[in-house]
Chain A
Amino acid sequence: MTNQQSNRFFFNVDWITILIYIALCAVGYVNIYASVHNTTDTSVFNFGSNYGKQLIYVIAGLVLGFSILLLDAKFFSVFSPIVYGVTVLLLIIVLVVGRNVGGNQAWISLGGGFRLQPSEFAKFGTALLLARYISSFSPKFRDLKSIAFAGLIMGIPLVLIMLQPDAGSALVFLAFMFPMYREGLSGYFLLIFLGMIVLFVADFLVPLKVLIPTILLIGGFFVYQNKRKQKVMFSAILVTIIAIAYLFVVKLAYEKVLKPHQRTRIELILGLKIDPKGVGYNVIQSKIAIGSGQLTGRGFLQGTQTKYGYVPAQSTDFIFSTIGEEWGFVGCFVVIGLFLFLLLRLINLAERQRSTFSRVYGYCVASILFFHVFINIGMAIGIVPVIGIPLPFISYGGSSLWSFTILLFIFLKLDSNRMGFI
């Protein structure tokens, strides 16, 4: 390969995004090192430890990412149905032969201690097919048929992941509502979905005698506001009735249809049954760790909550508590700032695409990252129920890092090829 050839491959690649990507991976490595650090073993390259493994994952991730940049941009559009098909197949396989880790049947063992989590890879498979569908048929999502079809694309993996059961990862598939919204889906759908999720969660966390009056109050407010406009008023009444009915349906389905262990699982996901130490133990400990960082943090390797294992899942789902404790508000600000910058940049990049496929895919990437960041950090600081999903590029684990890397670099490849047609 000559120098010129490699220049051609990386021509037009958005290096700023790659820099942010590397920065976030570095933040991840440093904080995983801190969270598994113990005073007896101080070597930086201990490949038996989690941070040693993460270093391998990061390097492998970079290799993977740059290999994607070497592929032909047309490949992704053409092979998207196949990629989607393979990931769906893997999701089915994992339900049959998967290894049970932490109550979820989500892993396929690859031998040598490495395992694969198909739900991570289903994200970009779905993103690719959704982009392909929208770019090929230009649905404006004005009719039920196109909505149903797009819904099916994201619904199949969602349901399969739900069956593992891993509702947290499944929830992320709702992120595909954003690209659909961008392509014409009515904003009401977003609101309705948001409402359904909020109500679903609230149904478990808030007693009905509080919830129903609250809904009636809000509904009544809208009815009163629109008493001149009959049509709007009636739809407000209708929505209120449906919302209350929905609550009972969810409750009924929950109690009659689900088996006890499934119920436990949902309660677990919603943070009602976190661990034997009592409801909300993880969140309390995570908040304590983050709060103890104060403005500037305790400093690298100085976090006592981190060091002494007070926060469960410290290097994976609750990695943000280490950042909060050791780097303080300043550190949190930088990390959230990096993510926000990345998200805004991805949207901007998506909008500069000539091809609909690239634009939709870009929106998919941004939306999925957004869901992960919001849910993960929100969970660590106690404003979102405990839903075990990783913080992109930062949480420990090969599957999640690689799937986010693939997700991101496919878009970077598409973007570098934005002048061409796919």
Chain B
Amino acid sequence: MDNLFNRKYIVQGLFIVVSLILLGTLFYIQVFSDKYFLSAESNVLRKLYTFPARGVILDRNEKILVQNEPVYDLMVIPNDVKEFDTLALCGIIGIDTIKFKKNFKKALNQSRYQPSIFEKQLSVSIYQSLSEKLYRFPGFFVQSRTIRQYPDSIAGHFLGYIKEVSPTDIERSEGYYRPGDYIGKTGVEKAYETALRGERGVVNMLYDAHNVPKGSYAEGKFDTSAVSGEQLISSLDVRIQKLGEELLKNKVGSIVAIEPATGEILAFVSSPGYDPNLMVGRQQGNNYMDLLKNPNRVLNIRPIQGYYSPGSSFKPLDALIGLQEGVIDENTTFNCPGYFRVGNHTTKCEHVDGNIALRRGLARSCNTYACYVFQKLLTQKKFNRNQQVAYDYWQKKVKLWGLGDTLGIDLPGERKGRLYDASYYSKKYSKYWGYSTVISLAIGQGEMDATPLQMANIMAAIANKGYYIKPHLVKSIGKDHVIRKEYLKKNYVGVDAAHFGPVIDGMQEAVNSPWGTALASRIDGIIMCGKTGTVQNPRGKNHSVFIGFAPRDNPKIAIAVIVENAGYGGTYAAPIASYITEKYLKDSIPPNRRGGVEWMKKQVILPALPKPKVKTKAALIDSAKKADSLKKSINAVEPKKVIDKKND
């Protein structure tokens, strides 16, 4: 033993310190951090997804509106890629080497060991030539999935489209969606996304270091199989939807047809439309940009986003509210000298109708008659001559008809329309205002806008004699034909059924009597009731409007047709409505009218294109802005002191 004996402790101390360093590091990587544990899972566990077929959408007669078509995604596991003939692969799938490098880098960024999409939606023919040579491209494989296919190329606005999820979609779904998934972006695809998408299937597979599958994880306990999306039965009728789209071809406008008893939408045409097949496949992005750039704003869903003054089509409401309030009866007459004058406000009437009562008033679309009714409503004794209180009361009655608010259609993007309450005018006119100030509302002008859907809905409520069911586009969901409860409820409009008789008489006269203004919509053997309207448009020719329903007894169809810049309602909107109605009720249009149908299809009524402006880009971005500018362009004139108005 010597003094060097103490060095034993230094050596032993070193051993202990080093052991503690090892244990400390181990504690960190094993217990403290779960980074390595998670990496281990991703090392061995591959989740192989099977994609469900998206739900098919059928029309009311179970004809297919949209179905699925197989496509093939080229997948890659970057780690398994070995040297290969890049040009050959590029040639087969039709991309250049720059795109190839970009795609590969993107896949590499996603994961080195997990498969990611290299090029999506290869067609069957590309797939066939690729699959023969796939062995030459190690690390690449093909995964099948389905895309949408539209056999009749119709109803693009209603159906909407699906698109690969964006990072925001993924975030919002709290991880439900994964990169490469598809999601409904507009229309029914968006509104019924959860029903249509179905459930992804997953197989958890274990892989060894050489990427050889080693069987399923936990005996497949966590595996699921894909469940196809629910089938939707739409309320649309392919026959009249197709006819409607053809009739409005090369015109700007809308057709909305509703089955009054159910609120089911039979036709939903927004023109100009687009072929929904454009929004599928590898060219989707380019096609979408083209549609966005179209100056006629193809992507606007006019039936629920277009704003129009209801015009003469509002007059039945004047009469019905008047009858309900007791300010008139069906025989009350007013004198029409060709205008209605109060103070310095003059509202012109197209005719000098003389003494005129309800039925004739509607059939002739007499402005004077409408103004008198409105005057009576706003000067009722029960409001102590307080016209502003009376106006609010009137406005509430009108709102019951679904104006001034969204109707709750099962489609995204519906707009409210425009109908103000008394406080708006009090602010605008510093409290000094009365019925004469807002008299143009009596004839559906002034500060009042409605969407074509709202107009059609008013017709449905009249056809039902006092109530409507929220208009909707999907009849039933899934195999069990589930119907949403809100689409079974009757919404009453606050007018007793007894008052409808004379008003409907007037509308029948408008279509069927020699002095009617809507003769162009007469159909042999069917009693159509309706009204035309001609809505002034400061930017060009008047918009042509027709609203109505048929047949008079037990109505089957309520319809609103708007053709922008087409002039008189009788020229375009009324015949179009009659063709649709006839086709729907009789299933065919008699030969003597087919010429008219063909003539109508060929008419081109497109607004003069605005000079290209630099701001297009900004206009493309915000759809709200878009709709706003649309509104301005098609809206009626601001209220004028003298309203020069054609009655028709």
Contact A378 B40 (CB under 8 A): no
**B8 at the A/B interface (Cβ < 8 Å)?**
yes
Which residue on B lies nearest to A370, using beta carbons? B15
Contacts of B27 in A (CB 8 A): 329
Contacts of A307 in B (CB 8 A): 208, 214
Using an 8 Å CB-CB cutoff, how does the interface string of B14-26 with A read, 1 for contact, 0 for none? 0110110111011
Q: Complex formed: what's the CA distance from A169 to B207 in Å?
A: 35
Chain A binder among B29-37, B308-316, B534-542: B29-37
Using an 8 Å CB-CB cutoff, how does the interface string of A289-331 with B read, 1 for contact, 0 for none? 1111111000000001101111000000000000011001100
Q: B11 contacts which of A333, A363, A377, A378 (Cβ < 8 Å)?
A: A363
Question: Taking the nearest CB of chain A, how far is it from the CB of B75, in angstroms?
Answer: 21
Q: Complex formed: what's the CA distance from A347 to B10 in Å?
A: 11
Q: How large is the interface on B (under 10, 10 to 19, 20 to 34, 35 or more residues)?
A: 35 or more
Contacts of B26 in A (CB 8 A): 290, 324, 329, 332-333, 336, 381
Q: A178 contacts which of B11, B206, B210 (Cβ < 8 Å)?
A: B11
Contact A347 B37 (CB under 8 A): no
Known A304-B44, A383-B21; contact A347-B11, beta-carbon cutoff 8 A: yes
Known A308-B44, A333-B23, A374-B18; contact A290-B206, beta-carbon cutoff 8 A: no
Contact B11 A288 (CB under 8 A): no
Q: Complex formed: what's the CA distance from A181 to B22 in Å?
A: 24
- For chain B residues 166-224, which have a beta carbon within 8 Å of chain A? 206-210, 214
Q: Complex formed: what's the CA distance from A234 to B37 in Å?
A: 51
Contact count A vs B, C-beta below 8 Å: 116
Chain B binder among A74-82, A95-103, A151-159, A338-346: A338-346
- SS class of chain B's interface: helix, strand, loop or mixed? helix
Q: B209 contacts which of A295, A310, A336 (Cβ < 8 Å)?
A: A310
**B432 at the A/B interface (Cβ < 8 Å)?**
no
Contact B36 A344 (CB under 8 A): no
Contacts of A370 in B (CB 8 A): 15, 18
Q: Complex formed: what's the CA distance from A308 to B208 in Å?
A: 4
Q: Complex formed: what's the CA distance from A310 to B437 in Å?
A: 84
Contacts of B37 in A (CB 8 A): 291-292, 294
Interface centre among B30, B35, B39, B43 (most CB of A within 10 A): B30
**B599 at the A/B interface (Cβ < 8 Å)?**
no
Question: Taking the nearest CB of chain B, how far is it from the CB of A400, in angstroms?
Answer: 20
Q: Complex formed: what's the CA distance from A310 to B34 in Å?
A: 18
Contacts of B19 in A (CB 8 A): 336, 339-340
**B4 at the A/B interface (Cβ < 8 Å)?**
yes
Contacts of B209 in A (CB 8 A): 285, 308-310
Q: Complex formed: what's the CA distance from A367 to B7 in Å?
A: 14
Contacts of B331 in A (CB 8 A): none
Contacts of B135 in A (CB 8 A): none
Contact A344 B206 (CB under 8 A): no
Contact B23 A351 (CB under 8 A): no
Contacts of B16 in A (CB 8 A): 340, 344
11 further A-B contacts with Cβ under 8 Å, apart from A292-B41, A294-B30, A363-B11, are: A182-B11, A290-B30, A291-B33, A292-B37, A324-B26, A329-B27, A333-B26, A336-B19, A336-B22, A343-B12, A347-B11
Name 26 A/B residue pairs within 8 A (Cβ), A-sorted. Answer: A178-B11, A182-B11, A288-B36, A291-B39, A292-B36, A294-B30, A294-B34, A294-B37, A304-B44, A305-B40, A307-B214, A308-B43, A308-B44, A309-B210, A310-B209, A336-B22, A343-B12, A344-B12, A366-B11, A366-B15, A367-B11, A374-B22, A377-B22, A378-B22, A382-B25, A383-B22
Interface residues of A (CB under 8 A from B): 178, 181-184, 187, 285, 287-295, 304-305, 307-310, 324-325, 328-329, 332-333, 336, 339-340, 343-344, 347, 351, 363, 366-367, 370, 374, 377-378, 381-383
Interface residues of B (CB under 8 A from A): 4-5, 7-8, 10-12, 15-16, 18-19, 21-23, 25-27, 29-31, 33-37, 39-41, 43-44, 206-210, 214
A-B pairs, 8 with minimum CB distance: A291-B36, A292-B40, A308-B208, A291-B29, A309-B209, A329-B30, A304-B44, A340-B19
